[in-house]
Structure 1
Amino acid sequence: MITEFLGAHCPDVLARVHGPAGAVELRLVEQTVGRPLPDDLADWWRLADGMDGVLIPMLFRPLSATGALGGYRTMIAAGSEAPGYGGPSYREHLAAPAGTVCRHGFWLPQWLPIATDLGTHLLFVDLRPGPDFGCVSGIDEHREHDNRLWPDVAAMLAEVAAAMRDGTPVRGYLLEAGADGIRWGW
């Protein structure tokens, strides 16, 4: 649905969707994070390995598997400088189930970036074990973690597709599509 919409309403944006990720890239991500990828994330990357343009509200651009790995490594390095890193609170968050909010400025090694606003915010999947494994959350430049935004990547993409199909708002944002790309407004 998403690619059909882009082709019909903004073909220049469709041209910015990357081809599929290969098995080697997906395996490297799993090896680096030490966890299996959620099936819906792996399926998404097998269809479209990121894109050079906004797709997800507000201004998020999907990362490729390689881009996600680069973002992951950057955040791991930056997160290790947070006050309390490695301490009791950090270890408590490591052991908490997926979807548990972390408000201590940490970046957990079980979080994998999947989209960026090219500024200071990321969307990530939470790879900690638990019933919310694979949920999508956000984080800002202060590593302030938002509550769970979507239960998984499939739900996030389904909401974007519904906005394209019938104008349904996504998290309060309305889709605006044109020759110059996708925007999400109020």
Structure 2
Amino acid sequence: MANGVSDLRPGPGGFLIPERWTPYSTRASLAAWRARISAQWRVWPEAEHAFYAAQIDRLRHTPAGTPTSMWLWLPEWPPFAGDGPDLFVDCRPGPLRGCVMVDYETEGQHGPLWPNVAAMFEEVADRLEGAAAEGLDDDPEIGRWILPR
């Protein structure tokens, strides 16, 4: 999604996506996805693998947009932005397929925050246009969102 984004972000530059997210490059997105998928199996005790495999299978068959409080990661959740919690697109089947959700690692997955990536970037554009109209160039913050420069 953000193949032109550098993985090396020099200095403070704000966040493109409110409140605190920066898009990953394609390489970083794939690395984050792989790390999440493999980490869960290393973290869980081997005696509990069958339990977690059943939970993953159950969640893979719930509709997109269904949150969970479990620390796990589905193959259908490609992350695309981070700097703390990861934003991901929920690619499971269902009416909300393609919605944007957030993973708080120890608190599970919450959302949907936006119905799709296009709606998320539409909000970003609207907020940036509003900030420009309000003359916020000298104060690059709106609430907790530090505007990109």
TM-score normalised over the length of structure 2? 0.75
Match of 2:18 in 1: 57
Q: Distance in 1 between matches of 2:143 and 2:58?
A: 38
- Structure 2 unmatched runs, 5+: 145-149
Equivalent positions of 1:82-161 (< 5 A) are 82=44, 84-87=51-54, 89-117=55-83, 119=84, 121-142=85-106, 144-161=108-125
Q: Is the 8 A contact 1:106 1:143 kept in 2?
A: no
Cα distance in structure 2, aligned partners of 1:61 and 1:156:
13
- State the secondary structure of the residue aligned to 1:76: helix
Matched, 1:72 2:27: no
When the two structures are aligned, how many residues end up with a matched partner? 129
Distance 1:178 1:144, change over 3 A: farther
Matches within 5 A, 1:18-37: none
1:64 deviation in Å?
1.0
Check the 8 A contact 1:59/1:183 in 2, yes or no: no
Please say if residues 70 and 106 of structure 2, whose CA atoms lie closer than 8 Å, have aligned partners that are also in contact.
no
Normalising by structure 1, we get a TM-score of 0.61
- Unaligned ranges ≥5, structure 1: 1-40, 168-175
Q: What amino acid does structure 1 have at the position aligned with 2:52?
A: Y
Instruction: Give 1:141 shift.
Output: 3.0
CA 1:134–1:49: 2 relative to 1, 3 Å = farther
Q: Distance in 2 between matches of 1:183 and 1:77?
A: 37
